Structure 1
Amino acid sequence: MAHAEPDNFTIRAMTRADLDRAVEWAAAEGWNPGLDDAGCFHAADPAGFLMGFAGDEPVASISVVRYADTFGFLGLYIVRPEWRGRGFGYRLWQAGMDHLTGRIVGLDGVVAQQANYARSGFALAHRNVRFGGAAQVDAPDDPRIRPVDAALVEAVLAYDRDFFPAARDTFLRCWLKDDARKALAFVEEGAVKGYGVLRACRSGFKIGPLFAEGEREADLLFRALTARAGGAEIFLDLPEPNEAAIRLAARHGLSPVFETARMYRGEAPDLPLSRTYGISTFELG
């Protein structure tokens, strides 16, 4: 996918190395990406990441990941500071939206850009708030908390389908692997009733997703995951409408540090926010 412009601005699908570069830009913006996010991001849709170049210089990025035929998610929308104000970002935006033609599109945008997104047809669904802090917890001694191993993966994939507008098995099979992240499930009477994933970030650790049937299961999963962070800072990106999630974060000493606007172009999916205690990532939904 390449678009030549009179001023030698071109757009192409990112290579894996390009995606690593875009994640570094996200870190420079203060978004605190995970240390090993790029591999799973790329697995979700290898063609879903576009980079803009001024000549040979990479200057802008956007992710436009396609989930099935019905849904896409937009993220990593960055123009390097020294290249802003030249219209490159808007051209890349247009190419990204073309990539998602015919799909409902979601994004988690910084609040300052909400009006711009609205002009492109996006409507606010709710705010997401990032809570952070050094939570000091002991791991719960509860046999219902189990590692997501090969025997549990299929059940966790099935559980996840209630929480996302389309199946995302390729992404999750990577995200749930035990090499760079730690995934735990709450299993009661043979049924998955919640799961969460902990990953190391540039600063501290993020928990995401954190989905659970109720506050009890969410709290046990949160404590089990946080105990594995060794006292480092924990960040949890939660949907503001979920008051139980806010209680959970506050109870463990976390406080708001950042927020985004969850917006959709097209009909907003009916997702169970009351059971969503932590979203997966601001980049991929």
Structure 2
Amino acid sequence: FRCVMEKDLERCEIRRARPDELDQVAAFRALYGQQLGIGAMGTFWKVDPEGILVAVTDDGKVLGTLAVLRISDSISYVTMHAVYPELRKKGLGKRLWQAAEAHLGPDRNAFLMCGGFDVSMYHNRFGFDVVSPVTIHYIRPGPADISTLRTEVRGVDIVDSATPTLTSKVIDYDQVVSGFRRERLLDLILKEPGNVFKVAVHGHSVVGYGIVSTDISGMALLRIVYADDVGIAECLVHSLLNGFAPFVEKGLTGLLLAEAGDATGLDIKMSIEGIPCVKILYRREHPTCDYKRQFVVCV
């Protein structure tokens, strides 16, 4: 099998993915046990179709992938950088990155999330010079206990249907917490089939929001949870997961920021194993953001 793969490597090209190849791109996430909402590939395609790259043979076999998505005017999101395990350290990942650099240009900022050896690889070889001070806890997929989470905070309402005015306020809130404006991306995520969207409101102000999706594994994927404090975050997570069929039937996966809120971590309270191994890397500069309000990192 390795010999067959290496022969494929000799006759592959790096190019923009085509719509009928997106399922093969998503399959690389499943191959490495990584998260991806079942509607995310469609969202990524609509956000930046030029930014989804594949290494593909002349007979249509995808050997590697990389997405470099222009999610705002100021920054791109790098994700899905993967090749078949048998082809690692053969130069294919580097070729994909060189194509991505051409799409990015020399000066544009970009960020990615990675752990372990990959942190030094992207930092030393691929020019991601800024490493965030925070460490993200990766949730080991499985059951979680939401009965320990708070379900109410005085003066705060959890709203499960947002008006256009409220959605606009969520986008403004997201910009402050994340450090960049990603209106188009959020609008598309909210329209993905099966997603659940909750907003925490205090008076006329947004004080948090969250989204849960169905992951390609069939589990619930906490897509994003931003909140002014840990109590509001707990209310959002409980409201998102309570009765959500993929969570009830298969469990939970996602990423958590250990430093958010009181730094005890939602993973501890929910009796799930959170592995502190993931960093956020930036290509040019660190945005002005608020990690204390980022309880679940957007994936």
TM norm structure 1: 0.88
Q: SS of the residue aligned with 1:253? A: coil
**Which AA in structure 1 matches 2:55?**
G
CA distance in 1, matches of 2:117, 2:190: 33
> Does structure 1 residue 46 correspond to structure 2 residue 49?
yes
Q: SS of the residue aligned with 2:262? A: helix
**Which AA in structure 2 matches 1:103?**
R
> Does structure 1 residue 127 correspond to structure 2 residue 135?
yes
Q: SS of the residue aligned with 1:162? A: helix
Instruction: Check whether the contact 2:256–2:266 (CA below 8 A) recurs between aligned residues.
Output: no
Distance 1:258 1:21, change over 3 A: farther
CA distance in 2, matches of 1:41, 1:95: 18
2:190 to 158, 170, 176: 176
Distance 1:259 1:37, change over 3 A: farther
* Displacement after TM superposition at 1:7 (Å): 4.5
* Displacement after TM superposition at 1:141 (Å): 6.7
The 5 A counterparts of 1:67-146 are: 67-101=71-105, 102-119=107-124, 120-122=126-128, 123-125=130-132, 126-132=134-140, 133-137=142-146, 140=151, 144-146=157-159
Higher helix share: 2
Instruction: Check whether the contact 1:236–1:278 (CA below 8 A) recurs between aligned residues.
Output: yes
2:160 to 141, 147, 150: 147
How many matched pairs? 276
**Which AA in structure 1 matches 2:157?**
R
CA distance in 1, matches of 2:201, 2:236: 11
Q: SS of the residue aligned with 1:59? A: strand
Calculate the aligned-residue CA RMSD, in Å.
2.3
Higher strand share: 1
Percent identity over the alignment is 23
Distance 1:81 1:137, change over 3 A: closer
Instruction: Look up the match of 2:68.
Output: 64
267-276 or 107-116: which moved more? 107-116
Instruction: Check whether the contact 1:238–1:245 (CA below 8 A) recurs between aligned residues.
Output: no
Instruction: Look up the match of 2:210.
Output: 196
2:27 to 20, 24, 28: 24
Distance 1:233 1:7, change over 3 A: closer
Instruction: Look up the match of 2:5.
Output: none
Q: SS of the residue aligned with 2:277? A: strand
1:239 to 253, 257, 276: 257
* Displacement after TM superposition at 1:246 (Å): 4.0
> Does structure 1 residue 254 correspond to structure 2 residue 267?
no
Distance 1:254 1:43, change over 3 A: same
In structure 2, the gaps of 5 or more residues are 1-8
Instruction: Look up the match of 2:289.
Output: 271
Distance 1:63 1:246, change over 3 A: farther
* Displacement after TM superposition at 1:41 (Å): 1.8
* Displacement after TM superposition at 1:257 (Å): 4.5
* Displacement after TM superposition at 1:83 (Å): 2.8
Alignment deviations for residues 49-96 of structure 1 (CA, whole Å, 9 cap, x no partner): 111123333211000011344211111001112333321211111111
CA distance in 1, matches of 2:62, 2:192: 33
CA distance in 2, matches of 1:220, 1:155: 19
* Displacement after TM superposition at 1:229 (Å): 2.6
* Displacement after TM superposition at 1:155 (Å): 1.8
Distance 1:42 1:118, change over 3 A: same
Instruction: Check whether the contact 1:44–1:168 (CA below 8 A) recurs between aligned residues.
Output: no
Instruction: Look up the match of 2:298.
Output: 280
In structure 1, the gaps of 5 or more residues are 1-5
Instruction: Check whether the contact 2:40–2:192 (CA below 8 A) recurs between aligned residues.
Output: no
* Displacement after TM superposition at 1:174 (Å): 1.6
140-149 or 262-271: which moved more? 140-149
Instruction: Check whether the contact 2:35–2:254 (CA below 8 A) recurs between aligned residues.
Output: no
216-225 or 227-236: which moved more? 227-236
Distance 1:19 1:110, change over 3 A: farther
